[in-house]
Amino acid sequence: MWQRFCQQQQQQRLPHALLLSGVAGLGKQQFAKAIVANVLCMSLKNDNSPCGQCHSCQLLSAGNHPDHIEIMPEEVGKQIKIDQIRGLKEKQQLTTSVASWKSIIISPADAMNVSANNSLLKLLEEPQQNTLLILVSDKPERLPITIRSRCQSYPFSSPPTEQALAWLATQNVNNQNDELEKILQLASGAPIKVLEMLDANINEQYQQIERDFDAILSGQANPIALATSWKNFELSEVLQYLHYLIKKRLIELMKTEQKSTKNRHYLKISDCIMSTIKLTSSLNNVNKTLLTEDFIVSVMQITHNSEYKVR
Ligand SMILES: [Zn+2]
């Protein structure tokens, strides 16, 4: 991906807008920042990396470059508002003051609300000379197609497991008892996400979620209380983990028994998890507590009235 960018830059074929997409934890932010450092540097080195010495490089590393803007929600998890995008237009019309390019990072781009999207679309329709707009998104499907189609796509994909584990080893994280491989799977193969998960003591969280899930299966859970307690977790991560659990249990079950009621239940629950995952990723501003309650109730209905002994 980096080579592709360098090639475009050297051939002076850089587009006006890029969309860096892919699951969280693949380094899209770092990549966007590296691009910015490159286009703003006034004397790139022979290997196309920024010199780190010029006035422009120094301003950027001081976090105070007049030709660079970063737009993000004012609070984590909130929307990017139209005023934040409107300001860009005025800024874009100014000439550059230090570098020969202007750069803008919008991240996460899918956090823009409808009016912010419309305002950005106008900018994309009238691209300015030597201005590079970089959109970063874990959920590009939430961006309007009119915006996506005006950006050149840089899709990030997860590296092969071996490569990810090897990189994690360079960060002093080692694969003990295949634990790391499990976490990597839960992180959709994204190694930087694994580091974050380990920092957040994810194993304890998952043990709690597994206990809760067993309570749901055996009909002992209180959906309202549980949905409230799950507010402490990222819902999409809980669902990914449940999906992983149910898959694992299905595989174990298929080793021991032929068709059983439990087998059918697990398949139904798996469908239920998948459709809830779809809902969380397709809807902005979804009421997550309500969605969680609905999910728990649906699973309890599947296992209701059956002799349910967990595992
Ligand atoms: Zn420089």
CA of 46 to the centre of ligand 1 (A): 12
Confidence (pLDDT) at 259: 66
| CA–CA dist 39, 37 (Å, integer) | 6
CA of 57 to the centre of ligand 1 (A): 4
Confidence (pLDDT) at 300: 92
CA of 269 to the centre of ligand 1 (A): 55
CA of 131 to the centre of ligand 1 (A): 18
The answer to whether the peptide bond before residue 73 is cis (omega within 30 degrees of 0) is: no
Mean pLDDT across 20-47 = 95
**Confidence class for position 134, pLDDT limits 50, 70, 90:** very high
At 66-111, the pLDDT tens digits run: 999 999 999 888 899 999 998 887 776 777 788 889 999 999 999 9
Confidence (pLDDT) at 216: 93
CA of 66 to the centre of ligand 1 (A): 15
What domains can you pick out in the chain, each with its CATH number?
Answer: 2-155 (3.40.50.300), 201-303 (1.20.272)
Whether the predicted pLDDT of 311 surpasses 50: no
Percent of the chain with pLDDT over 90: 62
CA of 97 to the centre of ligand 1 (A): 15
Confidence (pLDDT) at 101: 92
What pTM did the predictor assign? 0.76
CA of 58 to the centre of ligand 1 (A): 7
